[in-house]
Amino acid sequence: MQAGTSQQPQNQESDDDVYDMPRTPRRTPMACQFCRGRKLKCDGRQTCANCQRRGIPCTYVPMQVQLPVVDFSVQANPILATSPKQ
């Protein structure tokens, strides 16, 4: 080892390695009507890039609140699970 030089352990990551990791693109919560109809990637802006490029109005339809799924199977309702006596 030479005087005046320092060595870092080889298994230690540098701060630069954190920035080299690939970032996953953020998902747009809702696509505009045009992008949805053409199955294009919508950027979710007030006027998306696809609509702006084509010079068409960019419209978004609000998503409906999703209701919980109700299970109507026989196991879910004990009254229906028993057969009537004849």
pLDDT in tens, 31-68: 999 999 999 999 999 999 999 999 999 999 987 755 66
Residue 36 φ/ψ, nearest 5 degrees: -65, -40
Report residue 49 as tokens: 């890039």
Domains of the chain: 25-61 (4.10.240.10)
- pLDDT bracket for residue 22 (50, 70, 90): confident
Task: Please state, in angstroms and rounded to a whole number, the distance separating the CA atoms of residues 82 and 34.
Answer: 51
* % residues pLDDT > 90 (the chain): 35
Q: Is 0.95 topped by the overall pTM?
A: no
Task: Please state, in angstroms and rounded to a whole number, the distance separating the CA atoms of residues 75 and 77.
Answer: 6
- pLDDT bracket for residue 27 (50, 70, 90): confident
| 72 to 68, 76, 79, 80, 82: CA distances (angstroms) | 12, 6, 12, 10, 15
